[in-house]
Every structure is written in C-alpha cells, then in structure tokens.
A = this chain, B = another copy of it.
C-alpha cells in the first residue's frame, strides 16, 4: 500500500488549494476526486451562476440605456449560447486547476474514495462515465500520516421530494438547461433560490418562490433584504413565505396554506446537505446532520485527519473552504501553527442589487444612501445603501452594502473589520472623489 505524506479527498476550493499548498511545501500529496476538478463552486455554484447573472444584469442595464442617453434598438440574450460559454469557461478554469496541481507536484486521481479505519483511503473507478478526464481503472488502497477531508456538500432534499432531472431539478441540473420556461417554481428562497429567481425572472419567466421562513434572509440586514425582495417583485417574482410544500401532483405544488402553484419547471433549492457518506471509519465523528466534527485546528476526532470546507458544516462558502484548506496545509508544514480565525467572514448575494456583508450587525450604525454619492448620480445607479455597524467603543464590527457593485466595495469593509478600525479613524481617511469608494467617506 503506497504511503503519502498527505491525502486530500475532494478537489473543490478547499481541497485543491490545500493539496497544492502542501505539495509546494514539500509534502508528497495525493488528491482524489470522483467528479470534476473545482467542486460545486466551480462546476455548479459560484462561477457558473455568476456567469449567467453577469450577462442577465448587463442585459437589464442595456434595457435602461436610454437613462444614459444611449438608444438601443434591440437587445436579445442568446441563453443557449450563454450556457455554452459558461461551459467553456468551466473547462478553462478546470484546466487552470489541473495545471496548478501539476506544477505544484500533486498526484491527482480521478476515482471514488472511501475512508477506511486506520487512515486507509480506498480508491475505486468512479460511478459516472468519464468525460475526458482520465479516471482510475482499478481499485487500490493508499495511506498517509495526514488526511484532509474536503468533500463538500450536495443540494438539499425534502422528505419524499427528490429532484429527478425532469420537471423537478436541483441547481446543478437547472444550470444545464438551455431554455427559459414561462413559469418556474422555486422551493427555498435562500441565496441559491434568489440568484436563480433573479436570472430567470429577468429573462421573462414568471417565478414563484416558496419558503417556510416568515421573512427573507433573516440573518441579513432587514432593510437590505426588503430592498432585494422589492427589486425581484418588480421583475415579476412572487414570494410565498410562511409556506411549505405538502404534496406534488401533476407539475403542481400543493402548499400548507391550501394554495397550489403550477409551473412548467420546479427548482428545489432547500439548502445543502453534507457529503460524508464515504467515511467508513466510525472514529471520525459526525453531527446529527452528517457534518464532520472538528476542533479549532479543524482536526476531526481522529488525530491526523482534518475536515475543511462544507463537509465540516462550519461555513458553507467557497472562500471559507479555501481559507481552511490553506490554513491546515500551512499548519502541517510550518513550525508555528497559524491560528484559524474565521470570525470575519464576508458573504455576497449576487442578485440585482447585490447584497454584500461582513462581520456582525449591531444597533449602532452609520448609513449612506447611494443617492447621496456623486458617482452613483453620474451613472444613474442610485438604488441601494451602505451601512457600517459599530460596537459600543465605536469600533467598526460589521458592514452591509446593497449596490450593483457591492462585491467590489465590500473589500474595504473586510479590511476595516479585520483591522478593528475605529469609526473616527475611517472618517479621517481621504477617499477619492467622485468614486464609488467615496461611499465610505460620506457616512453620517
């Protein structure tokens, strides 16, 4: 049985980054992935969804070009071509990861891994047919002093309701569809549901979102959530909150309220679930939802076995996975272990408008509506706001931005919160006029 310094299971943003970092630092590293390089983020999440959103939002802007004195006769999005471009982009980025792994010296196997007791990883040919990547043809077992589990999460399901790839789809399946139905029902109005509702509604589809929650994005700033809801309603989305699906019959959802929702297509976007069934070593403990338990250093209940990214359930974000993967890899090789501090975790909802946030919210806040920003006025993009949240000592501890370009502006807040800057010190920092960044200088 071949022995490595490190085996990483899962080549998503946690796993491939950890493997590359470890190999660069001299560890003999094996990476095992049963599907494509890049994980859910690259293949079914962040990158493909943002590619679609980018084109859809640009179309939306073009339709309002007259506000900037530009007459456009006809603007049409070729959705099938967009899906093709999205697929080409994924292939290009997968190749980029493959190159990174190769130049870092990582051995990569395409196969299904099982974690057996005694730090043994068995790799068998993958269940799915090959798509050009070279998969293992025979089974083998490997071992290592250290193992990183980075197997991510999968779309959540509801009891008795499982996407079949036909009428009822999960987000991965819907991302392959090249046509826009006239009506779409979305079960789950979380980030995934909202981003797809945004894409489809702005392309003329009537979208109905159904969720058990009484209000949208309860963990976010309520003013931000309300603004997004209003924007999506203007685009033709209908929100049925406080509602759950009791039955599905003949392409129709029956809700607990008695209401029925018929739709051409249905997206199930009810959160995510752990992908940890491959762990056959019962010493690696999981919580009730199947996520792997970890200590502060991300070690599982078996010394030398770590879990990073979605599969530990700590923070289901690609950037959290990357951070965790790199930190664990560093700590395996560096003399001074690095503290793993994830308290300042930014998040972005890439809808129109975007909602970007970081840190936590308090009752003390400074706010600036974008309409007060000269730059927003020159571009006629005045919907939205920026809020900064302060602790009792006036230290900046959180921020939310609602804007078309919130994912660019949030960077400043990331540094403000990380550096624990005082509000009075921010006010002394000169920001360029008339820039988008000036929003931070104009706070009350």
Residues on A facing B (Cβ under 8 Å): 13, 41, 46-47, 50-51, 54-55, 58-59, 61-62, 65, 68-79, 81-82, 85, 89, 92-93, 317-320, 322-323, 338, 341-342, 344-348, 356, 374-375, 377-379, 405, 407-412, 414-416, 418-419, 421, 425-426, 428-441
Contact = CB atoms under 8 A, between A and B. Distances in A.
Given A68-B55, A356-B435, A437-B410, A429 B73 contact: no
Given A374-B47, A412-B412, A412-B415, A432 B62 contact: no
6 contacts: A58-B65, A70-B78, A72-B75, A346-B431, A407-B437, A412-B414
A70 B59 contact: yes
Contacts of A46: 374, 433-434
Contacts of A438: 319
Contacts of A378: 47, 50-51, 54, 89
A177 to B, nearest CB: 15
Contact of A419 (B93, B415, B430): B415
Given A407-B375, A412-B412, A54 B73 contact: no
Given A73-B75, A344-B430, 12 more contacts: A47-B378, A50-B375, A54-B379, A58-B61, A69-B78, A69-B82, A319-B431, A346-B430, A346-B431, A405-B405, A407-B435, A408-B436
A370 to B, nearest CB: 12
Nearest to A338: B428
Contacts of A74: 71-74
B375 A432 contact: no
Contacts of A344: 429-430
Nearest to A409: B408
Contacts of A77: 69-71
Contact of A412 (B54, B320, B411): B411
A426 B344 CA distance: 13
A322 B374 CA distance: 14
Contacts of A342: 430
A430 B405 contact: no
A71 B65 contact: no
Nearest to A75: B72
Contact of A408 (B50, B421, B437): B437
Most buried by B among A72, A78, A92, A421: A72
A75 B438 CA distance: 31
Most buried by B among A54, A59, A411, A440: A411
A21 to B, nearest CB: 12
Given A47-B374, A69-B81, A323 B430 contact: yes
A59 B13 CA distance: 36
A408 B439 CA distance: 9
A76 B322 CA distance: 44
Given A55-B69, A411-B411, A412-B415, A433 B318 contact: yes
Nearest to A49: B378
A379 B59 CA distance: 12
A65 B69 contact: no
Contacts of A55: 68-70
A41 B320 CA distance: 42
Contacts of A428: 338, 341, 418
Most buried by B among A13, A75, A439: A75
Contacts of A51: 378
A411 B440 contact: yes
